[in-house]
Amino acid sequence: KKKRKGPSDWAIVANMIDARRTLDKRIEEMLEAMDESIPRFRVRQDIKVSMASAQVVPLISYAADCNAMKDLQEIQSWCLEGEDDG
């Protein structure tokens, strides 16, 4: 038996989905139907993520204002919010 505390909060994080595929078109409503109280975050696709990775540079240094970075900062804020409660 583990003696450590498990996570107190859950969220669903997904990269942007290909809206042309049938399942992907309905994923948002499917996730919401499962449990609308679980926060959901999306990370928009951005070529700058690949470029930063290829150059082994943190995304925040390479392209702090790109859409993916803004999305990741929103997730970070949500995660840090929970630390204040603990």
Give the span between the Cα atoms of 71 and 65, in whole angstroms. 10
Residue 19: its pLDDT value, please?
A: 63
Ranges of the chain with pLDDT below 50: 86
pTM: 0.67
pLDDT at 3: 66
Cα–Cα distances in Å, from 54 out to 39, 43, 69, 77?
31, 19, 16, 26
